[in-house]
Amino acid sequence: MNISRATLQRRRFLQSGSVLGFGAISSLCAGRKLLQLPTHLGATRRQSPASPVPSTPDLNLADQQESPLPVPDAPWETEPSPPLGRPLELEDSFRDFLLTLNLRHLSAEEIIDPHRGVLGGVENTLPPVKLWEKLAPTLKVADELRERLQTPMCRITSGYRSPRYNAKVPGAVKGSYHTRNQALDLVYFCSPRKAFDAALQLRREGFFRGGVGLYPTFIHLDTRGYAATWRKV
């Protein structure tokens, strides 16, 4: 059988193309097999995905500041609320004295009411007349503190305490400045820490010399004549 030269060349070209095509397909299949993982390895990989790289949070300076104490709602106090209207000896005279102090924010009734307290069957009293003047400096500190805080005072929980009454107050010490009519326990409509810090600032400014104490729901102020600071929180 006579085959032309052109026909032979065409057959050789097609045969070489088939070999090349088969080789390419074989290489592709081999590559796919290499990429396939065993079943148990694939499952492990799905169960343990790569941990995402944690992003760096933006620094918030507010989060680094100390949280203020909560505003008092039903405050724990050094003394319970006194009976309303219990009459006190020399009450009118003491009220007249308080009015002479020209306090801007503290009323005479706010100052007098804590003295109506009764604890363990012992009735508190107003301070003796000879001690009235001793309260004036502490009242002026409390009045200025109210001005600085720009918030009303909730109440005075403790002012003067007679020695017998003071002995009934939990945690009170003998010779307390409350028995000398130089101390007040105060609850403001703000966090006690804010009031405490404002009182310390007043003392740094030389407005008074005395004690400043921080408690969970109130602050203590006195004008003992030297600086004393404590925190019971």
Q: What is the C-alpha separation between 117 and 164, in angstroms, rounded?
A: 12
Decide: helix, strand or coil at residue 52: coil
If one compares 2 and 191, the residue with the highest pLDDT of the two is: 191
At residue 123, does pLDDT exceed 90? yes
Type and span of the H or E element at 157: strand 153-158
Strands 211-214 and 228-231: parallel
Question: Which residues in 99-135 are b (16+ Cβ under 10 Å) and which e?
Answer: eeeebeebebebbbbbbbbebeebbbbbbeeeebebb
Percent above pLDDT 70 for the chain: 64
Whether 224 and 142 have beta carbons less than 8 Å apart is answered as no
Q: What is the C-alpha separation between 49 and 51, in angstroms, rounded?
A: 6
At residue 33, does pLDDT exceed 70? no
Q: What is the pTM of this model?
A: 0.66
> What pLDDT, in 10s, does the model give residues 64-107?
333 333 333 333 445 666 666 789 999 999 999 999 999 999 99
Q: How many other C-beta atoms lie within 10 A of the C-beta of residue 158? A: 24
Domain boundaries, the chain: 90-231
CATH topology for 90-231 is: Muramoyl-pentapeptide Carboxypeptidase; domain 2 (3.30.1380)
